[in-house]
Amino acid sequence: MNRERFERVRRRLVELDVDALLLSIGADLPWLTGYTAMPLERLTMLVLPADGDATLVVPRLEAPRVLEHQDLICVRPWEETEDPVAIVAEAVGGRRSLAISDRAWAAPLLALQASVPDAKWQPASLVTGPLRAVKDAEEIAALRRAGEAADAVATALVEGEIALVGRTEAAVSREISDRLLEAGHQHVNFAIVGSGPNAASPHHDAGRRVIGRGESVVCDFGGVLDGYCSDITRTVFTGEPPSEFRDLYTVLEHAQAEAVGAAVAGVPCEDVDAVARRVITDGGYGPHFIHRTGHGIGLEEHEDPYIVAGNCEPLHRGNAFSIEPGIYVEGKWGARIEDIVVVTDYGPESLNNVDHGLTWTL
Question: Of 290 and 362, which has the nearer Cβ to Zn ion?
Answer: 290
Q: What is the C-alpha R_g of the chain?
A: 23
Q: Is 276 in a helix, a strand, or coil?
A: helix
* CA atoms of 189 and 71, how far apart (whole Å): 35
* CA atoms of 56 and 109, how far apart (whole Å): 16
CB of 123 to Zn ion, least distance (A): 22
* CA atoms of 297 and 230, how far apart (whole Å): 8
CB of 294 to Zn ion, least distance (A): 7
Identify the CA nearest to 315 among candidates 349, 287, 360, 339.
Answer: 349
Q: Is 82 in a helix, a strand, or coil?
A: coil
CB of 260 to Zn ion, least distance (A): 14
Question: Of 169 and 220, which has the nearer Cβ to Zn ion?
Answer: 220
Identify the CA nearest to 34 among candidates 7, 61, 72, 91.
Answer: 72
Report residue 241 CA to chain centroid gap: 32
CB of 157 to Zn ion, least distance (A): 13
Rounded to whole angstroms, the maximal C-alpha distance in the chain is 68
Q: Is 345 in a helix, a strand, or coil?
A: coil
Residues that bind Zn ion (CB under 5 A): 220, 231, 233, 322, 338
Q: What are phi and psi of 137, to 5 degrees?
A: -60, -40
Identify the CA nearest to 268 among candidates 313, 324, 321, 317.
Answer: 313
Report residue 38 CA to chain centroid gap: 19
CB of 360 to Zn ion, least distance (A): 21
Q: What angle do CA 4, 7, 8 make, to 5 degrees?
A: 90
CB of 140 to Zn ion, least distance (A): 17
* CA atoms of 311 and 68, how far apart (whole Å): 38
CB of 202 to Zn ion, least distance (A): 6
CB of 190 to Zn ion, least distance (A): 8
List CB contacts of 257: < 8 A, sequence separation 6 or more: 356
